[in-house]
Structure 1
Amino acid sequence: MTGPLDGIRIIDLTAMISGPLATMMLADQGAEVIKVENPAGGDFTRSAANRQGDMSALYLNNNRNKKSVALNLKEPEGREALLKLVATADVFVQNFRPGVIERMGLGEEDLRKVAPDLIMVSISGFGDSGPYAQRPVYDPLIQGLSGLATVQAGSDGRRPQLVRTILPDKLTGVTAAQAITAALFARERTGEAQHVRLSMLDAIIAFLWSSDMGSQTFVHADLPQQEAASFQDLIYETTTGYITIAVQNDREWQALIRAVSRPEWAEDPRFKTAELRQQNIDARLELIQSVIRTESAEHWLAVLEKEQVPCAPVLTRTQMLNHPQVQANELLVNYDHPNAGTVRQTRGPARFSRSAKQQYQGAPALGQHTRALLKDCDYSDKEIEAMITSGAASDPGH
């Protein structure tokens, strides 16, 4: 496919979410991504629930526009085949625990012998060194260690809560994709290739710092406990559902007062300034909720929009699909997958004015492109058949 990364070849040894999401983003932007999987089942997400036609939604939603080669990297023939693929590549991405890729004989020194200009990318859970480096990692562990679960709770003194989506995994994927493009750009300018290292823990702590680490920003002797701005969400109940209202500045506060017909709020000393409104946020939100619950969502959205108060309906995931703004953005695309049938996904969120409209190819079957890509590396049909027979490689026909 064409796109801003057309001509870039990426060898992808990642599994689960963070790495596959990163490389799918790059595949959506035109890179040729070759996903290398173990013949014995491949990426674990292939076996996840919610599946159709022997394809799981989780695998489909993180691996489209890729090619799959099934190689047993424990076998010398499998490693040799991988190195031949690496010799043709620009980027190599893996998310094994620190040290594993070196023990496989596929560390940076080994790869640069066949591809001196290769950009190598290593994604870890906790980091390359330190007391947690060799521990198994899953998203909740990062949410806990990074402080995210406490941020989600609203205060250091309240019971921590997990964000109900795998934010560390997905944010690490987005961060990795950006870092890979930066490394490609740097290589284009300087001719030098780099090894990009990224941990889920680092990605989340850096993400939190921009808005949630104010008490930790100024260096002094004692760090205050992070108090909650409010224990109430900006979600308001109406007679027909829920809406959200977000009011920041004086103009928006006065517009809200007009919309709800409560002129006395303008004279309330607790709400005279933005600072006072923040200090008295619980009282302010309780007042707003007491009014909003008296009418329908449709009524309030119309009144609030007329006064230009920032607001929106709170939708379920299924309701979101048909919202006029989502439809206007042409974000959702349907296409036919040879195994899973008709699939609905989002397009890549960034649109490029000088690139052709994105075309989508569904996530590949395990080893779907093994034969074709090994042939491109000058393997004969006989040699490929021997590798498949020995278990060093596989394709869907075996």
Structure 2
Amino acid sequence: MTNDMQQNGPFGGIRIVDVTSVISGPCSTGILGDQGADVIKVEPPTGDIMRARGKVAGFTPAFVSCNRGKRSVALDLKDGSAREILWRLIEEADVFAQNFRPGVAERLGFSAEEALRRNPGLIYLSISGVGPSGPYAKKRVYDPVVQALSGLADMQSDPLTGRPKMIRSVVVDKITAVYAAQAVSAALYNRSVTGKGQHVEISMLDAMLNFNWVDGMAPVAVVGQEEDASNTPHDMIFPTADGFVTVGAISDKEWVGLCRAMGRADLIDDPRFATPSQREINRQERLELIEEVVSTQQTAPLLASLEAHDVPCAPVLRRRQLFDDPQVLHNDVVQVINQQGLGPVRQARSAARFSNHKPKPITQAPALGEHTKNILNELGVNPDTIANPSGKKSIA
């Protein structure tokens, strides 16, 4: 392994050609880029739609998070000469990632079959909303659509009114990105064994259903023994006299510690809470008792007492408080980069650390078409010679 590969990360030497847009695709290739891959972001001359969703033209915090460290090439894929440039890139790539609606890549001429014919070692990643076929395949899909279809909104339902609720985060996009990055990693490993590339398909709907199954689908998992998936009105956040905390106690030891930390040792032998099963059956009553006690206490001494009794707990931090939290500071998760167009921008580093690789420095996201000429030069192509039939350049 070269020193450059050690510096870049475990995917040093891997090149990804990325024509994805919005969140799920760019985030997935961004994960691999954080781990050392060279990601070439191919955008239309108008740019990824996420560039236009902020106050500053060309850059938004979300765009920066998903596309930092990439190289941008602007190509109008409606033009034949631009499509030929993309083919040149694909033929030299390890991974090609697209999240067009089903059928679009084929209409443009970039089917998985043709890409693998030209580059048999290629990992061709297709990300879709609900899958490549089926009654919903042609739907335009964003995160809330899959939150609705996957049962996630139902899992968040208001227990008093039954009204489903969305999670106020693009959780489906981000989970899909993680699943896609893992799948590409698995395919690259398989290629190292077999020498063969393959087509990897992942849909946001499939990713979220798999993600939900561990807990949210438990009430309906046993065939013939389905239960009403009712939620407790309590959300595990407890107000204190000067803030909010979360407290959890699953094992008997943790429950005993919680009772003693709260000064309610009498609850230890209460038959309603004597076993994990009984505590779950009487969950709402248990949580209301905890809230009654902790709501009268100051946050700092309460947390100190809970910690002393080895009870899982934490203050509920506001987002601005994260930057001063001692564990976040110790982990050096949040770093500041100078992003063109925005100035200093906070970014969270890659979650994984590798003992054989130095952390890859976080670098800024590219301007639209910032690296077009350099990459074309790498291919031996003069950008000034490329124009569509109308005479308008098909690259930017």
TM-score bin, normalised by smaller chain:
over 0.9
What's the counterpart of residue 390 of structure 1? 392
Cα deviation for residue 12 of structure 1 reads: 0.3
Cα deviation for residue 49 of structure 1 reads: 1.8
Question: Take 2:155 and 2:340, find their aligned partners in 1: how far apart are those partners?
Answer: 43
Q: Mapping of 1:36-115 within 5 angstroms?
A: 36-39=42-45, 41-51=46-56, 54-115=58-119
Cα deviation for residue 346 of structure 1 reads: 0.7
Cα deviation for residue 87 of structure 1 reads: 1.1
Question: Take 2:101 and 2:76, find their aligned partners in 1: how far apart are those partners?
Answer: 18
Question: Take 2:173 and 2:393, find their aligned partners in 1: how far apart are those partners?
Answer: 32
Report if aligned partners of 1:48, 1:58 keep a CA contact under 8 Å in 2.
no
Is 2:238 aligned against 1:225?
A: no
Match of 1:175 among 172, 179, 201: 179
Q: Mapping of 1:246-285 within 5 angstroms?
A: 246-285=248-287
SS at match of 1:73: coil
Which AA in structure 2 matches 1:225? D
Partner deviation per Cα, 1:106-157 (whole Å, 9 max, x = no partner): 1123323431211101000011111100011011110111101111126698
Q: Percent identity?
A: 43
Cα deviation for residue 387 of structure 1 reads: 10
Question: Take 1:113 and 1:269, find their aligned partners in 2: how far apart are those partners?
Answer: 68
Which AA in structure 1 matches 2:47? G
Cα deviation for residue 357 of structure 1 reads: 2.5
What's the counterpart of residue 35 of structure 1? 41
What's the counterpart of residue 291 of structure 2? 289
Question: Take 1:240 and 1:49, find their aligned partners in 2: how far apart are those partners?
Answer: 35
What's the counterpart of residue 298 of structure 1? 300
Question: Take 1:267 and 1:352, find their aligned partners in 2: how far apart are those partners?
Answer: 47
Cα deviation for residue 321 of structure 1 reads: 1.5
Match of 1:23 among 29, 39, 45: 29
Count of aligned pairs between the two proteins: 390
Report if aligned partners of 2:22, 2:48 keep a CA contact under 8 Å in 1.
yes
Which AA in structure 1 matches 2:49? F
Question: Take 2:140 and 2:160, find their aligned partners in 1: how far apart are those partners?
Answer: 26
Match of 2:206 among 202, 207, 210: 202
Match of 1:151 among 151, 155, 161: 155
The 3 A distance-change label for structure 1 pair 386 and 147 is: closer
Cα deviation for residue 256 of structure 1 reads: 0.9
Tell me the TM-score normalised to structure 1 length.
0.94
What's the counterpart of residue 19 of structure 2? 13
SS at match of 1:210: coil
Which AA in structure 2 matches 1:42? G
Cα deviation for residue 339 of structure 1 reads: 3.0
Is 2:380 aligned against 1:373?
A: no
Report if aligned partners of 1:156, 1:226 keep a CA contact under 8 Å in 2.
no
Match of 2:342 among 320, 340, 343: 340
Report if aligned partners of 2:120, 2:196 keep a CA contact under 8 Å in 1.
no
Cα deviation for residue 98 of structure 1 reads: 0.6
Question: Take 1:70 and 1:219, find their aligned partners in 2: how far apart are those partners?
Answer: 51
Structure 1: tracts of 5 or more residues without a match? none
Cα deviation for residue 11 of structure 1 reads: 0.5
Question: Take 1:387 and 1:83, find their aligned partners in 2: how far apart are those partners?
Answer: 19
Structure 1 outlier segments of 4+, above 4 Å: 154-157, 384-389
What's the counterpart of residue 219 of structure 2? 215
SS at match of 1:123: strand
The 3 A distance-change label for structure 1 pair 146 and 349 is: same
Partner deviation per Cα, 1:243-300 (whole Å, 9 max, x = no partner): 0001101101111111111122122211111111111111111111111011111121
Match of 2:120 among 111, 116, 120: 116
Question: Take 2:275 and 2:120, find their aligned partners in 1: how far apart are those partners?
Answer: 60
Cα deviation for residue 382 of structure 1 reads: 4.2
Cα deviation for residue 159 of structure 1 reads: 1.1
Match of 1:353 among 352, 355, 359: 355
Partner deviation per Cα, 1:66-125 (whole Å, 9 max, x = no partner): 000000000001100100111110110000111110001111233234312111010000
What's the counterpart of residue 4 of structure 2? none
Question: Take 1:334 and 1:271, find their aligned partners in 2: how far apart are those partners?
Answer: 47
The 3 A distance-change label for structure 1 pair 83 and 388 is: farther
What's the counterpart of residue 190 of structure 1? 194
SS at match of 2:213: helix
Report if aligned partners of 1:154, 1:227 keep a CA contact under 8 Å in 2.
no
Which AA in structure 1 matches 2:229? Q
Question: Take 1:301 and 1:142, find their aligned partners in 2: how far apart are those partners?
Answer: 38
Cα deviation for residue 359 of structure 1 reads: 1.3
Question: Take 1:102 and 1:36, find their aligned partners in 2: how far apart are those partners?
Answer: 17
Question: Take 2:196 and 2:190, find their aligned partners in 1: how far apart are those partners?
Answer: 7
Which AA in structure 1 matches 2:73? V
Partner deviation per Cα, 1:368-388 (whole Å, 9 max, x = no partner): 111011111111354258999
Report if aligned partners of 1:155, 1:227 keep a CA contact under 8 Å in 2.
yes
SS at match of 1:79: helix
Report if aligned partners of 1:65, 1:362 keep a CA contact under 8 Å in 2.
yes
Which AA in structure 2 matches 1:264? D
